[in-house]
């Protein structure tokens, strides 16, 4: 259990079991943050400054429990990173409704619930930061990504409207429009599809975890308190 009396910054990251979320959790733990993470499954991350919750990010009551504990244990939240996301690359005529609901639950409802509850804590101090993960799939409008792109388009809109609503509380809300990275999210996507996507970028390569960290660092630093409602796309999209 982290030292509750410390003045270390407190960051909550959703989807920390693997991929970007896992990388960010380790990165910010190494930087001296207290990191609260969550995922559907267990995560054995050995750090006294890390707390893990197993949950579905669209489960309102369980999400509220995280924030109740956060309030009790630390009394504040400095940064929320809405990273948890799922994808299903398929032709829309072959996409079952259950997949549509699952994608929207995780990508949109989860982002909304965590942002709403985070703002309730962050409103008590100034300088709260919310960073959402969106995708270049929105502007590229790629065939085969209808539902994933639609869910991330919703995240973009959510980002910009929450930015307006939370500005009164000194909270900024921004989003990172990542290109594909070597994560589980694209493990089932054929190489030629990835190559086709990369060909549409100005800088023709996959994204790296360091690219995401760089953007997060920019959005959360104190000097970025005038930057809100922005969608930062990678690779020159």
Residue 64 C-beta: closest distance to other proteins, Å: 4
| Site track for other proteins across 99-138, x = CB under 8 A | ---------------------x--x---------------
Instruction: Say how far apart CA 234 and CA 237 lie, in whole Å.
Output: 6
60, 69, 184, 217: residue in contact with other proteins (rule CB under 8 A): 60
Instruction: Say how far apart CA 55 and CA 43 lie, in whole Å.
Output: 12
Size of the site for other proteins (CB under 8 A): 9
Cα–Cα distances in Å, from 130 out to 107, 114, 145, 158, 172?
A: 15, 10, 26, 12, 6
What dihedral do alpha carbons 102, 104, 108, 109 form, nearest 10°? -60
Among 33-41, 60-68, 142-150, 190-198, the segment contacting other proteins (CB under 8 A): 60-68
Q: Is 68 in the site for other proteins (CB under 8 A)?
A: yes
Footprint (CB under 8 A) of other proteins, residues 174-233:
none
Among 24-32, 58-66, 79-87, 89-97, the segment contacting other proteins (CB under 8 A): 58-66
Instruction: Say how far apart CA 134 and CA 111 lie, in whole Å.
Output: 11
1, 46, 98, 168: residue in contact with other proteins (rule CB under 8 A): 168
CB-side neighbour CA atoms (13 Å) of 38: 28
Nearer to other proteins, 12 or 89 (CB): 12
How many Cβ atoms are within 10 Å of 215's Cβ, its own excluded?
21
Q: Residues interacting with other proteins, by CB under 8 A?
A: 60-61, 64-65, 68, 71, 120, 123, 168
């Amino acid at each position: 259990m982290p030292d509750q009396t410390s003045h270390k910054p407190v960051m909550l990251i959703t989807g920390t079991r693997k991929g970007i979320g896992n990388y960010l959790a380790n990165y910010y733990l190494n930087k001296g943050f207290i990191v609260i993470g969550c995922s559907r499954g267990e995560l054995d991350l050995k750090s006294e400054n890390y707390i893990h919750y197993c949950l579905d990010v669209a489960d309102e009551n369980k999400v509220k429990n995280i924030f109740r504990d956060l309030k009790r244990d630390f009394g504040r939240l400095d940064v929320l990173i809405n990273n948890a996301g799922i994808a299903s690359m398929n032709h829309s005529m072959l996409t079952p409704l259950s997949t549509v609901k699952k994608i929207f639950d995780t990508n949109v409802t989860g982002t909304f619930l965590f942002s709403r509850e985070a703002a309730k804590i962050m409103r008590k101090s100034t300088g709260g930061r919310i960073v959402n993960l969106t995708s270049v799939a929105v502007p590229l409008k790629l065939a085969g990504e209808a539902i994933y792109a639609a869910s991330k388009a919703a995240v973009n809109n959510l980002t910009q409207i929450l930015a307006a609503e939370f500005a009164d509380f000194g909270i900024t809300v921004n989003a990172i429009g990542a290109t594909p990275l070597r994560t589980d999210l694209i493990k089932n996507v054929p190489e030629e599809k990835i190559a086709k996507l990369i060909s549409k970028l100005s800088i023709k390569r996959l994204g790296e975890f360091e690219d995401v960290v760089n953007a997060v660092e920019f959005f959360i630093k104190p000097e970025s308190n005038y930057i809100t409602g922005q969608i930062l796309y990678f690779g020159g999209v």
